[in-house]
């Protein structure tokens, strides 16, 4: 395995709850193989929100799915370790992993409607969690299910009796957050929790996520395109490009002085920092992962490239000078001036 430094390790002495190291995922299709995750390492510390940001196809969901053993059949986990409180998730027997997934690490999926079981009423789905994981009686499980909904929705009894198709998008989103958090997990992986939501629902969902963030000892791995969400929720940020983390820092440093030309470009292309839905997009195209050249994958879109960038292998993550190792960037010619000009 690759001996890359861990890009999202904090300088604090706290031990990570979740530690991912040297992760590599490749998908096989009939035409090609796609190296979707190329040596990703990250640490999630107790109580923090670590945002993983990047354009569509950069490998964010693949990282999340690999962590939780949810990769599809055509994916191969080629290398890497995932450690949760010191236990290896990748080597864990299936039944134990399922238990960890329900009780200790929860996943909030992007598409709430399709993540819920269509043939079961919402209350039954929630109650089932308490019955199977906590050994609750049917009555107690039902009460616990309604209690979860009470904290999230105005009409919990009606929602408990509804089938998923009878819920609005926003209600389904909150039910899913309720399901994910019902058993008080210490880690929540939220994959684009605010994508495709109208502004009012987005706002409510963000408030719910803020409530989770403010709970002590809950850590969130927040996957998003949306820098508004990053600004509101994240403590630290890891920027992904073409299957790799290319920059990581605390959230203030990322916004004030992004060092990678890709991060700089994403932030510069934001139309309005105070408008909802500020998506991570910029001119040019993400590279074809199946035919990546050995040099920096951002080279064709980069206006900072030097001859070193054209002749040497892709740069590795290195600490930014003067940052105590908390800010790291994979670039031979990082941005030399802050976005604010200081």
Q: Which residues bind ligand ATP (CB under 6 A)?
A: 27, 29, 34, 36, 54, 56-62, 72, 74, 225, 289
Nearer to Mg ion, 65 or 174 (CB): 65
Residue 66, classified by CB atoms within 10 Å of its CB into exposed (0-12), middle (13-18) or buried (19+), is buried
Edge-to-edge order in the sheet of strand 49-53: 105-108, 187-191, 219-224, 49-53, 236-241, 244-250, 328-329, 318-319
Q: Which is nearer to ligand ATP, 175 or 289 (CB)?
A: 289
Residue 74 or 166: the one with the smaller Cβ distance to ligand ATP is: 74
Q: Choosing among Mg ion, ligand ATP, none, which partner's interface includes residue 57 (Cβ < 5 to 8 Å by kind)?
A: ligand ATP
Tell me the three state secondary structure of residue 43: strand
Q: Which stretch binds Mg ion (CB under 5 A): 58-66, 195-203, 246-254, 322-330?
A: 58-66
- Partner whose footprint covers residue 38, from ligand ATP, Mg ion, none (CB < 5 to 8 Å by kind): none
Q: How far is CA 4 from CA 35, 70, 240, 248, 293, in A?
A: 18, 25, 15, 14, 20
> In whole angstroms, how close is the CB of 182 to ligand ATP at the nearest point?
25
Residue 152, helix vs strand vs coil: coil
Q: Does 248 sit near Mg ion (CB under 5 A)?
A: no
Instruction: Name which of 31 and 321 has its Cβ closer to ligand ATP.
Output: 31
How many other C-beta atoms are found inside a 10 Å radius of the C-beta of residue 199? Answer: 10
Options 4-12, 21-29, 56-64, 234-242: segment touching Mg ion (CB under 5 A): 56-64
Identity of the residue, 61 or 208, whose beta carbon is nearer to Mg ion in the bound complex: 61
Number of Cβ within 10 Å of residue 202's Cβ equals 21
DSSP strands (E only) in the chain: 18-28, 33-44, 49-53, 75-84, 87-88, 105-108, 187-191, 219-224, 236-241, 244-250, 318-319, 328-329
- Which of ligand ATP, Mg ion, none lies near 24, with the C-beta cut-off 5 to 8 A by kind? none
Please give the size of the binding site for Mg ion, defined by CB under 5 A: 1
List residues bridging with 236 in a β-sheet. 50, 250
User: What phi and psi values does residue 100 have, to the nearest 5 degrees?
Assistant: -60, -45
The one of Mg ion, ligand ATP, none whose footprint includes residue 44, by CB under 5 to 8 A per kind, is none
Minimum separation from the CB atom of position 36 to ligand ATP (A): 3
Give the shortest CB-140-to-ligand ATP separation in angstroms.
38
Q: Provide the phi-psi class of 217: left if phi over 0, else alpha when psi is between -120 and 50, else beta.
A: left
Interface with Mg ion (CB under 5 A), residue from 6, 10, 58, 61: 61
Give whichever of 23 and 36 is closer to ligand ATP, judged by the CB atom: 36
Find the shortest distance in angstroms from Cβ 243 to ligand ATP: 7
**Measuring CA to CA, how many Å separate 328 from each of 315, 322, 342?**
12, 11, 19
Q: Nearest distance from residue 263's CB to ligand ATP, in Å?
A: 15
Of 23 and 180, CB closest to ligand ATP = 23
- Where do contacts with Mg ion occur on this chain (CB under 5 A)? 61
């Amino acid at each position: 395995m690759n001996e890359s430094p861990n890009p999202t390790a904090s300088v604090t002495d706290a031990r990570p709850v979740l530690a991912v190291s040297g992760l590599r995922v490749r998908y096989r299709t009939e035409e090609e193989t796609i190296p979707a995750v190329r040596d990703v390492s990250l640490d999630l510390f107790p109580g923090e929100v670590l945002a993983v940001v990047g354009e569509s196809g950069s490998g964010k969901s693949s990282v999340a799915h690999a962590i939780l053993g949810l990769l599809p059949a055509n994916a191969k986990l080629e290398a890497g370790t995932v450690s949760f409180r010191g236990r290896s998730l990748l080597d864990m027997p299936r039944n134990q992993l399922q238990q960890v997934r329900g009780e200790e690490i929860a996943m909030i999926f992007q598409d709430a409607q399709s993540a819920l079981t269509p043939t079961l009423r919402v209350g039954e789905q929630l109650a089932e969690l308490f019955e199977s994981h906590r050994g609750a009686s049917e009555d107690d499980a039902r009460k616990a299910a309604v209690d979860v909904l009470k904290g999230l929705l105005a009409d919990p009894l009606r929602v408990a009796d509804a089938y998923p198709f009878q819920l609005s998008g926003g209600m389904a989103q909150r039910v899913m957050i309720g399901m994910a958090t019902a058993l008080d997990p210490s880690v929540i992986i939220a994959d684009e929790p605010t994508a495709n939501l109208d502004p009012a629902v987005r706002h409510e969902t963000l408030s719910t996520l803020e409530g989770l963030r403010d709970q002590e000892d809950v850590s969130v791995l927040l996957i998003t395109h949306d820098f508004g969400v990053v600004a509101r929720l994240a403590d630290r940020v890891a920027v992904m490009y073409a299957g790799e983390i290319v920059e990581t820092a605390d959230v203030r440093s990322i916004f004030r002085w992004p060092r990678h030309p890709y991060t700089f470009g994403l932030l510069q292309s934001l139309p309005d920092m105070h408008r909802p839905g500020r998506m991570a997009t910029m001119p040019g195209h993400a590279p074809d992962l199946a035919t990546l050249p050995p040099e920096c994958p951002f080279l064709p879109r980069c206006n900072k490239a030097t001859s070193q960038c054209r002749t040497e292998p892709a740069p590795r993550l290195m600490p930014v000078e003067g940052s105590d190792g908390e800010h790291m960037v994979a670039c031979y010619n990082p941005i030399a001036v802050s976005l604010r000009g200081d």
